[in-house]
A and B are shown apart, each in its own frame.
Chain A
Amino acid sequence: FPAAPPPGLECLRPCPQCLSPLFVEAWRECLVSLDPRAGRGYTAVISPQDPTLLIGSSLLATCSVHGDPPGATAEGLYWTLNGRRLPPELSRVLNASTLALALANLNGSRQQSGDNLVCHARDGSILAGSCLYVGLPPEKPVNISCWSKNMKDLTCRWTPGAHGETFLHTNYSLKYKLRWYGQDNTCEEYHTVGPHSCHIPKDLALFTPYEIWVEATNRLGSARSDVLTLDILDVVTTDPPPDVHVSRVGGLEDQLSVRWVSPPALKDFLFQAKYQIRYRVEDSVDWKVVDDVSNQTSCRLAGLKPGTVYFVQVRCNPFGIYGSKKAGIWSEWSHPTAASTPRSAGCGGRQENSMNLGGRACSEPRSRLYTPTWSTERDSVSKKKEG
């Protein structure tokens, strides 16, 4: 064979490999397709090539052998799909050089790169291949939720749609625009907080609503979510309160004092912070939540068990920024802070000025003696500005 194709000469017969410079000596490949006795290259063509199909649909494919070498006819050819030989009753010889295949009620593709449908010669050698993409069009993405960290960015999350699995690679694109003007923008930082999320890091406007939606596209079609309209100020969250300290209240065996600092990132903005505290016994998974801690940076927990280690966390909700009437979004919980209540004075020690418990063991729960309560201490410097 010549080493290179003569200038201007084209392959005289359909030859999938002739267009690819990655296969050296394309002319040789072309000649191989004309003369399979050369014994190299693909000597057949599957039609259709790389089709896209709906789950449950049918496929009629053909494997056409090129050239006229001894033994290279449709007789003896067979099909495999993803490495598994297909039953012969699904195949039919159409003519001397063509074997047909009929597949019905197709299942979703096993891998996103496509199911491998291969035509084999009698000796098992591969003559040609085609990749099937069987799946579903995307459904409308739903449940878009967004939040802004300290009014600096916007992160959105969504759910793919009722069924989720399309069996095809589905591309999701988060779009946004200012409601009254401006062009469509596309979010670029995906998968920041899960597989269906996107992060817009900067250049966000305040006091004007955004329209946000998600477009889903795959080989079988596209779908668009409903539009979510929001103002950045209505979806603000912030960092957990820093510097959470938990300490004993003198010798009081059933109380702990919790102090924290308001999140510094929002300290210059008008807002009314709400806080929540949760605490649990060291070896328990059940948290008790203290709610409605408004605009204060300290709290006293009471009704606790003496001589017990407690873990405490605090979180913040910066509602009402710049007059926003929305509820705000809770921050993450602060890192757990641990402290222990003093041991009960009646536990093996001298009892001074304490109730005579009449022989009650220290390990018995004290919950029958009083109802757990909590109290707050107003911070000396109020951050609340009357508007």
Chain B
Amino acid sequence: MSRREGSLEDSQADSSVSLLPHLEAKIRQTHSLAHLLTKYAEQLLQEYVQLQGDPFGLPSFSPPRLPVAGLSAPAPSHAGLPVHERLRLDAAALAALPPLLDVVRRRQAELNPRAPRLLRRLEDAARQARALGAAVEALLAALGAANRGPRAEPPAATASAASAAGVFPAKVLGLRVCGLYREWLSRTEGDLGQLLPGGPA
């Protein structure tokens, strides 16, 4: 079976779901939300690197891209998957991000206690990831493409172990999580754009 890009009309042909104006409106709304949150994620990343100090903000900075529990970056093959599958992966990533962002926030509260804006951005990011993830899952349910059966819970991020790690690895971890947050938001925005009538917005 060949993989192909999908739009809302293709979804309708596949699943025989009749086009509802409110569904299209919901897709647009969720896409706009993803677009907005992508910009916030960029601001979060910029503020984060500034407060960790150089070399974190330098263009040449390339720390080890260590894997993060329960979450990886979008795979190169992601773009070739059917749109429903891509959105399922997006929703799963958005569900895995909040506990990681919480761990980063708690660590940053120790490292940068006088940076209330960064701490607030991290707190907001966790909340926003949950909201967007829920919106994507609702769309998938409306399209008849939701996951069947229990969803796997993301592994709990243990704050105490994060505290035990050295400060430099903790800074790198935070950078990795903020980077993954931005990547997945951007990916979700792109995938939702595929659902809009006419293709990408």
In the complex, the answer to whether B62 meets A125 with C-beta atoms within 8 Å is yes
Residues of B within 8 A of A114 (CB): 53, 111, 167
- When chains A and B are docked, how far (Å) is the Cα of A116 from the Cα of B68? 22
Interface residues of chain A: helix, strand, loop or mixed (majority): loop
In the complex, the answer to whether A131 meets B67 with C-beta atoms within 8 Å is no
Which one of A22, A125, A128 lies within 8 Å of B161 (CB-CB)?
A22
- When chains A and B are docked, how far (Å) is the Cα of A115 from the Cα of B168? 9
- When chains A and B are docked, how far (Å) is the Cα of A116 from the Cα of B169? 11
1/0 per position for A161-175, CB-CB distance to B under 8 A?
000000001010000
Given A17-B66, A111-B51, CB of A116 within 8 Å of CB of B168: yes
Which one of B58, B103, B114, B171 lies within 8 Å of A112 (CB-CB)?
B114
Total contacting residues, chain B, CB less than 8 A: 37
Given A17-B66, A24-B67, CB of A42 within 8 Å of CB of B112: no
- When chains A and B are docked, how far (Å) is the Cα of A314 from the Cα of B10? 74
- When chains A and B are docked, how far (Å) is the Cα of A113 from the Cα of B155? 28
- Could you tell me the distance in whole angstroms from the C-beta of A255 to the nearest C-beta in chain B? 52
Residues of B within 8 A of A115 (CB): 53
Which of A77-85, A256-264, A294-302, A357-365 participates in binding chain B? A77-85
- When chains A and B are docked, how far (Å) is the Cα of A78 from the Cα of B67? 25
Which one of B62, B64, B157, B173 lies within 8 Å of A41 (CB-CB)?
B64
- Could you tell me the distance in whole angstroms from the C-beta of B178 to the nearest C-beta in chain A? 14
- When chains A and B are docked, how far (Å) is the Cα of A21 from the Cα of B156? 9
In this complex, the member of A16, A83, A169 whose beta carbon has the largest number of chain B beta carbons within 10 angstroms is A83
In the complex, the answer to whether A80 meets B169 with C-beta atoms within 8 Å is no
In the complex, the answer to whether B55 meets A22 with C-beta atoms within 8 Å is no
1/0 per position for A20-33, CB-CB distance to B under 8 A?
11111100010000
- When chains A and B are docked, how far (Å) is the Cα of A25 from the Cα of B162? 15
- When chains A and B are docked, how far (Å) is the Cα of A19 from the Cα of B173? 14
- When chains A and B are docked, how far (Å) is the Cα of A169 from the Cα of B108? 13
Instruction: Give me 13 other A-B pairs in contact (C-beta within 8 A), A22-B158, A23-B68, A126-B63 excluded.
Output: A16-B169, A20-B169, A23-B69, A50-B168, A82-B53, A82-B55, A111-B51, A111-B52, A112-B111, A112-B112, A113-B167, A117-B168, A130-B168
Instruction: List 21 A–B pairs whose Cβ atoms lie within 8 Å, in order of A's numbering.
Output: A16-B165, A17-B169, A19-B164, A20-B161, A21-B161, A22-B103, A22-B158, A22-B162, A22-B173, A29-B66, A49-B167, A50-B167, A50-B168, A82-B55, A83-B58, A111-B51, A111-B53, A113-B52, A114-B167, A129-B169, A169-B114
List the interface of chain A (C-beta within 8 A of B). Answer: 16-17, 19-25, 29, 40-42, 49-50, 80, 82-84, 110-118, 124-126, 128-131, 169, 171
